[in-house]
Structure 1
Amino acid sequence: MKAEIITIGDEILIGQIVDTNSAWMGEQLNLHGIEVFQITSVHDQHEHILEALANAEKHADLVLITGGLGPTKDDITKKVLCDYFDCELVLNEQVLANVTERLTKRKVSMNQLNKDQALVPSKCTVLNNSTGTAPGMWFEKNDTLFVSMPGVPFEMKSIMSEEVLPRLAKSGKAKSIYHQTVLVYGIPESMLAEKIEAWETALPDFIKLAYLPSQLMIRLRLSAYGEQMESLQEEVSRQIDQLKLLIPEHIFGYNGDSLAGVTGRLLVKAGATLGIAESCTGGMIAHMFTANAGSSVYLKGGVVAYSNEVKMAILGVKSETLEAHGAVSKEVALEMAQGVQQALHTDYAVATTGIAGPDGGTDEKPVGTVWIAVISKQNIKLERYTFAHNRERNIMRSSQATINLLRQLLLTENPHLA
């Protein structure tokens, strides 16, 4: 079953509100074996809405419509639906009773606009709205189902959960869809695609692969479509096992994992503690770790040493080191890591120093130059990176690179954790 979502409202098109409804509906539909084919946003304009409905009917089995069901003059969805389905508005006593009850509880007097909420197209099946006054409406035309719901998120979610999804489940039209996402770090998308090309080409026809790159990672989403969920899960698992043999050093997690969350779990399993010293990343590494519940088990603390004075006074970086090599150097990064490790008495320590930008770079050390130190009681890893000219991206990429170096060191020293 293919679905299209149509959102109605000028407020979406001008950026006044963000369309979170479509994201939620897309997620729920996939969980119920329904593929979202397209998402369309249209103006509060009669002909535009009619055109969107007609286009959706050509290729979709299910059309979900949100917005334009309020009591004011700019809410025209019900009138458009009457035109599209060649019917008229009629008073629905069940909806009127619901509206009356809600207004009475709120001690609000009924007016004509409130009463008009109980007017629905004569050819629709009314879907109860347990959280608001505007009902959902279910239509069937040829081989396509149309469902109109309020744009208010909690009302839409209520109607979807209590009315729409159960009806779709009973229809028997939905197939099984199974998604698994493999999280990859430390390899450019083009190189990754080249490395796994043969594996990707050999994927069964019912499994689709999507590359979803970001500045923090590349997500490889495998989506399997078929009749039996169990067999889909087994085949996707088998394919992921083959992928792990091709890029074992780059796969760090799955689905909703974060690199910091995965690395934090490794620290817990190793019974190890961590100290953080940050200059150019400004506390972002600590934030990434503490965003995960339970990080207090392994993270003892961190120091944001932005100035040379703090690097020397708090972390023990030598003035001679700064004078000889500059703040952005492997020597300073190492002394920062050693300083925070000694001060906090930790098993592992990380440090960053660099030029986040947009200015401050030189020919020798351009904007985006970052030195990272990751140390344990036995080993030292020092790496230089040259990122871009975007300050925000440099901070995020430096933080992620630091955490990944720590993850690699943990696995090297504790191979049983892999």
Structure 2
Amino acid sequence: MEQVFASIITIGDELLIGQVVDTNSAWMAQELNKAGIWLKRRVAVGDDKHEIINALEAQAQDTQIILMTGGLGPTADDITKPVLADYFGGKLVVHQPTLQHLHHLFENIYRRPLTDRNLKQAELPDVCTVLPNLRGSAPGMWFEKEGRIYISLPGVPHEMKGLMTAEVLPRLQKHFTMPHIAHRTMLTAGIGESFLADVIQEWEQQLPAHLKLAYLPNYGMVRLRITGSGSDKDQLEQELDEQFARLKVLAKQWMVIDEDLPLHEVVGRRLKEQGKTMATAESCTGGYIAHLITSVPGSSAYYKGSVISYANEVKENLLSVSPATLAATGAVSEDTVQQMVQGALSSLHTDYALATSGIMGPDGGSAEKPVGMVWIAVGNREKIVTQQFNFRFDRMRNIELTANHSLNLLRKFIEEHG
């Protein structure tokens, strides 16, 4: 069974200058991989006819599927449609189903006039298969040339995802016979990537060629992912299960969970299993931990809220941190975060609480308390544990590291004292 390869071309000057961050490619790559398609490369080009054509020709050399996003809007800089019409030897014509969709969209959904500029979005190359976009005004386009599939999608993430799910992936799976691809993933904490590699070195070296291990470090955590591909789905799944079981034994000391879940979801799952609740008292993280937790649907079942006590008077007034403690040890201290946990437990009436206080930088540090120094506390009404960290990165990375270490400390506390 022949492996199918794809490439992604993102189109838009705003991507090249960093005005917009490309999140489309990452999501598309994951979905292609689930469907059994290997992504060979990702390329970004500006709104320039020659750059787009050069990219198309280059990617067609060694990939069967070329996906494009962007450049399908109604403004003058959106040139993808006319470029593709020329490239595939066609011309732009009014596509009546798209025209009807535009009238419905603007009259019944957007409730604003349909301008001549918007009407031009119904003009599509007569050599493509039109992919209806139920989430927006710019349809997708499917072209075939010399055994290659070319797919053009809007750059708006919500619209692109709708088209990929409803149109593109089902069509690709019908068009190609693809091998089965499967993964096994675990999340580890408390050990660095290189040290973990030493621990599992012998096991990794004996992996068969069709199974590959990836190390995915991220802010104090390391995900280990085994990926396999093959024509026999049942055999591949069994092999992955056997190898993953061996890996779990080797990494047991540091394993957080044997699934591909972020840490804040792991904490939420543990709380739901126990029927318990939590709160956060955040100083240096400024509500970032609360944001992570509440990004999960259903988190209201276990998360009650946060006190973002950035200023000392908020620590005193809302969390009952003693003014004497703040005067004696400062906001960034073990005593302060302990009292922040106690205050959160009392004021928000939860089973567990987490508190952070630190110096995120780039300024504000001292010889005694340098930038990157953080105190974390987690606990319940019977016990509170604390830990100090000294990070050395930029402000945002220090915040993210603090959040991950806080959540992991809480996870361990819940598992030990729940």
Query: TM-score, with normalisation over the residues of structure 1?
Result: 0.80
Q: Cα 1:346–1:104, aligned 2, differ >3 Å: closer, same or farther?
A: closer
Structure 1 position 139 matched with structure 2 position 144: yes
Structure 1 position 4 matched with structure 2 position 3: no
Q: How do residues 301-380 of structure 1 correspond to structure 2 at under 5 angstroms?
A: 301-344=305-348, 346-380=350-384
Q: Is residue 212–residue 220 contact of structure 1 (8 Å, CA) maintained in 2?
A: yes
Q: Unaligned regions of 5+ residues in structure 2, if any?
A: 108-112
Alpha-carbon distance, 1:367 to partner:
1.4
Aligned to 1:58: 61
Structure 1 position 411 matched with structure 2 position 415: yes
Aligned to 1:117: 123
Q: How do residues 19-418 of structure 1 correspond to structure 2 at under 5 angstroms?
A: 19-67=22-70, 88-89=89-90, 96-98=95-97, 101=100, 114=120, 117=123, 119-121=125-127, 126-129=129-132, 136-141=141-146, 144-153=147-156, 160-161=164-165, 163-215=167-219, 217-253=221-257, 257-344=261-348, 346-414=350-418
Q: Distance in 1 between matches of 2:251 and 2:37?
A: 32
Provide the secondary structure at the position in 2 that maps to 1:59.
Answer: coil
Q: Distance in 2 between matches of 1:280 and 1:184?
A: 25
Q: Cα 1:79–1:309, aligned 2, differ >3 Å: closer, same or farther?
A: closer
Q: Is residue 71–residue 117 contact of structure 1 (8 Å, CA) maintained in 2?
A: no
Q: Cα 1:70–1:315, aligned 2, differ >3 Å: closer, same or farther?
A: closer
Alpha-carbon distance, 1:406 to partner:
1.7
Of residues 161-170 and 258-267 in structure 1, the stretch that sits farther from structure 2 once superposed is: 161-170
Identity %: 42
1:261-319 deviations in Å (ceiling 9; x for gaps): 22232233334343443333333333433333444444454433344444444444444
Q: Distance in 2 between matches of 1:328 and 1:130?
A: 52
Q: Distance in 1 between matches of 2:290 and 2:242?
A: 36
Q: Unaligned regions of 5+ residues in structure 1, if any?
A: none
Provide the secondary structure at the position in 1 that maps to 2:61.
Answer: helix
Alpha-carbon distance, 1:21 to partner:
4.2
Q: Is residue 44–residue 74 contact of structure 1 (8 Å, CA) maintained in 2?
A: yes
Aligned to 2:110: none
Q: Is residue 117–residue 133 contact of structure 1 (8 Å, CA) maintained in 2?
A: no
Q: Cα 1:41–1:322, aligned 2, differ >3 Å: closer, same or farther?
A: closer
Q: Distance in 2 between matches of 1:72 and 1:299?
A: 44
Query: TM-score, with normalisation over the residues of structure 2?
Result: 0.80
Aligned residues: 404
Q: Is residue 99–residue 118 contact of structure 1 (8 Å, CA) maintained in 2?
A: no
CA-based RMSD: 3.7
Q: Distance in 2 between matches of 1:295 and 1:75?
A: 40
Q: Cα 1:321–1:157, aligned 2, differ >3 Å: closer, same or farther?
A: closer
1:222-274 deviations in Å (ceiling 9; x for gaps): 22111133333333233332222222243223555232222232233334343
Q: Cα 1:304–1:5, aligned 2, differ >3 Å: closer, same or farther?
A: closer
Alpha-carbon distance, 1:2 to partner:
0.7
Q: Is residue 5–residue 64 contact of structure 2 (8 Å, CA) maintained in 1?
A: yes
